[in-house]
């Protein structure tokens, strides 16, 4: 979908402000993800428009994100995900390019399959003056000295909330991953993610996407980016994800 068409489709949604959206920030939540080909995004939006509100800030409804992830030399955070370990961590620095705000964030996946998120405002300069060390010491069991930047990703995000304010729904498109020697762009598919406080239950979105053949996916942007950028890493657990993405790409190519 070209950018202009996406903007036009989003105009059919009633807006919600960032202050209103803060009611469903869900820093302790259950996440459910779906991969989808961007070619069906217009049809998905059409099905959603009577049930969801879209985040709007300064007349903008599509927001640009850049995220830098951290890991140690053994990629222990990556392998914790690869090996299916619960009580695992992700550590990242995220910048909201449209506002210029940046946060250092920790995401913890518990053995109850809940996602717990902690974050502090943190500029790139703050990372160098002790903020990173203090943050990891406070929120993780790791030695900050062992961590370094592992990869960066870029994407555009559109955020919705259902009209009952019980569910937050995000769409990430235009994914790209990079490190110092490589850049990979994945324009053909996106990630939809339902976020709510309680154990996952059926919602309007999860019900109607079945008609598009979409199923829940355990997709992790960080883990997937690692498999694309670091060919020496073990990737057995993510073969299913790669097959799913290859199928999406094949279906798009066939339709084209």
pLDDT band with cut points at 50, 70 and 90 for residue 256: very low
* pLDDT at residue 255, rounded to an integer: 40
Among candidate residues 188, 204, 180, the one with its CA nearest the CA of residue 254: 188
- Measured distance CA(69)–CA(90) in Å, rounded: 8
pLDDT band with cut points at 50, 70 and 90 for residue 254: very low
What integer is the mean pLDDT of 86-107? 95
User: Which tokens is 147 given?
Assistant: 């961590």
For the chain, the average pLDDT equals 89
- Cβ pair 148, 70 in contact under 8 A: yes
Rounded to 5°, the CA angle 93-97-98 comes to 145
- Cβ pair 35, 214 in contact under 8 A: yes
pLDDT band with cut points at 50, 70 and 90 for residue 243: confident
* 252, pLDDT greater than 60: no
Q: Return the H-helix or E-strand segment holding 89.
A: strand 88-96
* 246, pLDDT greater than 50: yes
Among candidate residues 238, 193, 187, 253, the one with its CA nearest the CA of residue 81: 238
> Each residue of 167-223: pLDDT tens digit?
999 999 999 999 988 999 999 899 999 988 766 566 889 888 888 888 888 889 999
Per-residue buried b or exposed e for 192-229, using 16+ beta carbons within 10 Å of the residue's own CB? bbbbbeeeeeebbbbeebeeeebeebebbbbbbbbbbb
> Each residue of 114-171: pLDDT tens digit?
889 999 999 999 998 999 999 999 999 999 999 999 999 999 999 999 998 889 999 9
- Measured distance CA(192)–CA(13) in Å, rounded: 17
* 253, pLDDT greater than 50: no
Q: Is 117 helix (H, G, I), strand (E, B) or coil?
A: strand
Among candidate residues 138, 249, 228, the one with its CA nearest the CA of residue 179: 228
**Which residue segments constitute the domains of the chain, with CATH numbers given?**
3-255 (2.40.320.10)
Of the candidate ranges 2-16, 43-57, 58-72, the one whose mean pLDDT is the lowest: 2-16
Q: Is 113 helix (H, G, I), strand (E, B) or coil?
A: coil
Among candidate residues 211, 192, 195, 225, the one with its CA nearest the CA of residue 67: 225
> Each residue of 32-53: pLDDT tens digit?
899 999 989 999 999 999 999 9
Burial class (CB in 10 A: 0-12, 13-18, 19+), 19: exposed
What residues contact residue 233 under an 8 Å CB cut-off, 6+ apart? 75, 78, 82, 226, 227
> Each residue of 79-92: pLDDT tens digit?
999 998 989 999 99
What integer is the mean pLDDT of 98-114? 92
* 235, pLDDT greater than 80: yes
Pairing of strands 147-162, 168-178: antiparallel
R_g over Cα of the chain: 18
């Amino acid at each position: 979908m070209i950018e202009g068409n996406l903007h036009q489709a989003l105009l059919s949604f009633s807006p919600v402000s960032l202050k209103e959206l803060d009611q469903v920030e869900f820093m302790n939540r259950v996440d459910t993800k779906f991969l989808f080909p961007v070619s069906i995004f217009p049809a998905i939006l059409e099905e959603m428009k009577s049930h969801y509100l879209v985040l709007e800030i300064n007349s903008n409804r599509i927001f640009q994100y850049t995220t830098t992830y951290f890991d140690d030399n053994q990629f222990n955070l990556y392998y914790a995900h690869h090996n299916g370990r619960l009580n695992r961590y992700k550590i990242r620095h995220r910048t909201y390019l449209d506002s210029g705000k940046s946060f250092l964030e920790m995401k913890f996946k518990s053995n109850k399959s809940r996602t717990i998120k902690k974050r502090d405002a943190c500029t790139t300069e703050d990372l160098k003056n002790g903020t990173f060390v203090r943050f990891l010491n406070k929120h993780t069991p790791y030695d900050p000295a062992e961590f370094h930047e592992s990869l960066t990703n870029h994407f555009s995000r559109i955020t919705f909330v259902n009209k009952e304010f019980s569910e937050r729904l995000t769409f990430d498109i235009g994914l790209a991953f990079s490190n110092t020697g490589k850049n990979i762009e994945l324009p053909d598919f996106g990630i939809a993610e339902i976020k709510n406080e309680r154990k996952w239950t059926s919602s309007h979105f999860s019900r109607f996407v079945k008609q598009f053949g979409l199923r829940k996916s355990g997709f992790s942007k960080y883990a997937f980016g690692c498999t694309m950028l670091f060919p020496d890493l073990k990737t057995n657990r993510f073969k299913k994800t790669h097959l799913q993405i290859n199928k999406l790409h094949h279906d798009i190519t066939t339709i084209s």
